[in-house]
């Protein structure tokens, strides 16, 4: 459990309840070459989650500081061998040899603890040429090898396997620098350009009423603004709007319409707002505290949207864990919920619940409904539980943690809350399980072909809990001009995974520019991609 980790104290409790003899098997003497080898393994296997500098990313703990530094080497070795799958830490028992695990421990310990800055991480080791080969997936489930712009997919309740039909995989992204020639792939007639790069952990992106793009650089605690798109697809101006925020993610302009007075930001544990008028590139005052929201361990993204009538603010707060029961784990109270407030922060209530992690919120401009792009739970096997995109029913219950779609009980909560079984809402669009569906937006632009009008685009950050990677793409949910989904979705922007299975890019955010182009943030390359429709000709442009 996330909570248990915080309770570990260096002096008297063991690290993650490691057995007393965990350190008895003293590490073999490690040479500097071993530490270097440990670093290479770290960069390939661990950095995607714990960060290149091992200081943690979002809800993933720092290893360069904190308990990992105060624990005994044997305890760290024991823990990484076993992992803690239900909380998102893979087991490395079979993927790394004993020697490699000791080398990684050696490398982590060389980071010195006490907050000392680790040496800059080396670039990833040379990509392994070997092609990932596993049997092909059974439709409607897929994996990166079969994702292709324009392909339509539909997952239904009838497709769901039983829990544990396959093992729970620990297969996180193995990040490599973007190889020469690798580029995001869009459907015929679209062109993809690199809008900007060199950001730090770019996450959510939103278009301001005046057309500027606001981007949350979450791990840095900053909000960045980009202005304009030059003829060769670059920003005309950029500026840091605000610094010193606590894991900012959600961004919302208020009141809606052409002349907002504030920009609201979803921090880890609060909603704050800055005074804002069109054209501001820097905040002109300190943030005003609007509402406290549950922070703590686990999912950190807090998106913020306003109802079309401007009367309500909806804030999404993901769960602290994969599976913990809010009845018995106080830290889960008011999490895995959409919280509703008045725009001044008063009037808090639960708008919808049992939504494990609604990372991206958006209000459907046609119907006024709140929609969510949701990360469902892990640990039940390759093809469970589907992530989803859905309109959110006021007061609705989406199942977590006791149930999931279709009235299925999570086997880890057998027998609990039978009265909720029939309340579990089936989401509008079931995605491939473990896709990691992040920000979503409705396409209200005029540039793309007419059949895209009103459709949803969503960023799929990509799986870790699946034996063959899935996600790592931008998808389109066609609404056929109705404002409602049919359950289908399509691959739209793919190509972030190499044939070897190594990953160079990970989509996080999507927004539509005033000229109708689509911008996509990518925290793998720390870039923003620009997707335009050219009506044919080159698919990619540099
Ligand atoms: C898929 C993401 C992911 C990958 C890859 C990953 N970890 Fe973790 N790791 C986690 C999460 C999540 C936790 C926190 C688990 C919890 O809260 O109980 C964690 C916890 C840890 C901890 C305990 C830290 C603490 O403060 O309690 C150590 C040590 C650790 N990981 C080492 C590693 C090493 C070494 C590797 C690479 C061989 C690695 N991890 C790869 C996700 C990951």
For ligand 1, whether the C-beta of 84 sits within 6 Å is yes
Q: Is the pLDDT of residue 115 over 90?
A: no
The protein residue whose alpha carbon is closest to atom 19 in ligand 1 is: 89
**Distance between CA atoms of 475 and 518, rounded to whole angstroms?**
12
Banded model confidence at residue 122, pLDDT cuts 50, 70, 90: very low
* Average pLDDT along the chain: 91
The protein residue whose alpha carbon is closest to atom 30 in ligand 1 is: 80
Give the mean model confidence (pLDDT) for residues 428-449. 98
pLDDT at 129: 56
Banded model confidence at residue 50, pLDDT cuts 50, 70, 90: confident
pLDDT at 20: 84
Q: Are strands 349-353 and 358-363 parallel, antiparallel or unpaired?
A: unpaired
Integer angstrom CA distances of residue 428 from 38, 173, 471, 486 = 45, 28, 18, 7
187-235 pLDDT tens trace? 999 999 999 999 999 999 999 999 999 999 999 999 999 999 999 999 9
Q: Is the pLDDT of residue 109 over 70?
A: yes
Residue 392, C-beta contacts closer than 8 angstroms, at least 6 positions apart? 338, 351, 352, 355, 358, 369, 370, 371, 372
Query: Taking the model in full, what pTM does it have?
Result: 0.80
455-513 pLDDT tens trace? 999 999 999 999 999 999 999 999 999 999 999 999 999 999 999 999 999 999 999 99
**Distance between CA atoms of 263 and 253, rounded to whole angstroms?**
4
For ligand 1, whether the C-beta of 77 sits within 6 Å is no
Banded model confidence at residue 61, pLDDT cuts 50, 70, 90: confident
For ligand 1, whether the C-beta of 76 sits within 6 Å is yes
Q: Is the pLDDT of residue 522 over 90?
A: yes
Helix (H) or strand (E) holding 374: strand 370-374
How would you label 111-130 residue by residue, b for 16+ Cβ within 10 Å and e otherwise? beeeeeebeeeeebeebeee
Give the mean model confidence (pLDDT) for residues 368-379. 96
Q: What ligand 1 atom has the least distance to the C-alpha of 16?
A: 27
Sheet holding 237-242, edge to edge: 202-207, 213-217, 222-227, 237-242
For ligand 1, whether the C-beta of 103 sits within 6 Å is no
Q: How many A from CA of 50 to the centre of ligand 1? A: 7
**Distance between CA atoms of 434 and 388, rounded to whole angstroms?**
10
For ligand 1, whether the C-beta of 465 sits within 6 Å is no
Give the mean model confidence (pLDDT) for residues 425-439. 98
Banded model confidence at residue 84, pLDDT cuts 50, 70, 90: confident
pLDDT at 316: 98
Q: How many A from CA of 49 to the centre of ligand 1? A: 7
pLDDT at 2: 40
- Calculate what percentage of the chain has a pLDDT beyond 70: 92
pLDDT at 130: 80
For ligand 1, whether the C-beta of 5 sits within 6 Å is yes
For ligand 1, whether the C-beta of 495 sits within 6 Å is no
pLDDT at 49: 83
Tokens encoding 165: 């039909």
The answer to whether 379 touches 465, Cβ cutoff 8 Å, is yes
For ligand 1, whether the C-beta of 46 sits within 6 Å is yes
The protein residue whose alpha carbon is closest to atom 36 in ligand 1 is: 46
pLDDT at 86: 74
Structural domains of the chain in order of their starting residue, each with its CATH number: 2-110 (1.10.760.10), 151-322+330-533 (2.120.10.30)
How would you label 381-416 residue by residue, b for 16+ Cβ within 10 Å and e otherwise? bbbbbbbbbbbbeeebbbbbbbbbbeebbbebbeee
Site of tokens 């949701």: 374
For ligand 1, whether the C-beta of 172 sits within 6 Å is yes
**Distance between CA atoms of 208 and 227, rounded to whole angstroms?**
10
pLDDT at 538: 43
Other residues' Cβ atoms within 10 Å of the Cβ of residue 225: 21
288-310 pLDDT tens trace? 999 999 998 889 999 999 999 99
């Amino acid at each position: 459990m996330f909570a248990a980790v915080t309770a570990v104290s260096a002096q008297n409790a063991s690290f993650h309840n490691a057995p007393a003899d965990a350190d008895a098997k003293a590490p073999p003497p490690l040479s500097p070459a071993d530490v270097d080898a440990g670093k290479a393994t770290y960069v390939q296997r661990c950095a995607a989650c714990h960060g290149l500098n091992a200081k943690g990313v979002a809800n993933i703990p720092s290893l360069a500081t904190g308990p990992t530094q105060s624990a005994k080497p044997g305890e760290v070795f024991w823990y990484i061998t076993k992992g803690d799958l239900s909380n998102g830490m893979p087991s490395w028992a079979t993927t790394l040899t004993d020697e490699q695990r000791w080398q990684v421990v050696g490398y982590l310990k060389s980071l010195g603890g006490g907050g000392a800055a680790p040496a800059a991480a080396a670039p990833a080791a040379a990509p392994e040429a070997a092609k990932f080969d596993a049997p092909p997936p059974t439709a409607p489930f897929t994996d990166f090898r079969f994702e292709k712009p324009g392909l339509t997919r539909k997952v239904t309740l009838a497709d769901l396997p039983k829990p544990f039909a396959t093992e729970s995989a620990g297969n996180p992204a193995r990040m490599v620098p973007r190889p020469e020639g690798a580029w995001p792939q869009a459907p015929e007639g679209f062109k993809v350009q690199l809008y900007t790069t060199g950001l730090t952990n770019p996450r959510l992106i939103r278009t301001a009423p005046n057309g500027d793009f606001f981007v949350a650089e979450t791990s840095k605690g900053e909000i960045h603004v980009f202005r304009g798109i030059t003829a060769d697809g670059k920003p005309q101006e950029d500026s840091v709007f605000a610094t010193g925020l606590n894991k900012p993610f959600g961004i919302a302009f208020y009141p809606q319409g052409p002349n907002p007075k504030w920009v609201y930001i979803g921090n880890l544990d609060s909603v704050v707002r800055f005074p804002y008028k069109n054209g501001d590139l820097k905040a002109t005052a300190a943030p005003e505290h609007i509402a406290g929201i549950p922070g703590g361990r686990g999912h950190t993204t807090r998106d913020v949207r306003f109802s079309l009538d401007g009367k309500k603010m909806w804030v999404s707060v993901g769960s602290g864990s994969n599976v913990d029961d809010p009845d018995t784990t106080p830290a889960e109270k008011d999490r895995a919920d959409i919280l509703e407030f008045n725009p001044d922060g008063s009037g808090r209530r639960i708008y919808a619940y049992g939504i494990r992690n609604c990372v991206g919120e958006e209000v459907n401009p046609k119907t006024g409904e709140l929609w969510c792009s949701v990360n469902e739970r892990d640990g039940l096997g390759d093809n469970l539980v589907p992530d989803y995109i859905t309109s959110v029913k006021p007061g609705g219950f989406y199942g977590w943690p006791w149930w999931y779609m279709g009235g299925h009980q999570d086997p880890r909560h057998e027998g609990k809350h039978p009265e909720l079984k029939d309340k579990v809402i089936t989401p509008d669009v079931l995605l491939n399980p473990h896709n990691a569906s992040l920000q979503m937006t409705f396409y209200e632009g005029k540039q793309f072909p007419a059949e895209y009008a009103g459709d949803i685009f969503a960023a799929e950050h990509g799986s870790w809990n699946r034996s063959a990677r899935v996600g790592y793409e931008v998808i389109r949910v066609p609404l056929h001009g109705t404002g409602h989904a049919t359950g289908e979705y399509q691959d739209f922007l793919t190509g972030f995974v190499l044939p070897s299975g190594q990953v160079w890019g990970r989509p996080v955010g999507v927004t539509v520019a005033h000229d109708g182009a689509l911008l996509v943030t990518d925290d793998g390359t720390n870039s923003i991609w620009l997707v335009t429709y050219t009506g044919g000709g080159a698919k990619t442009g540099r």
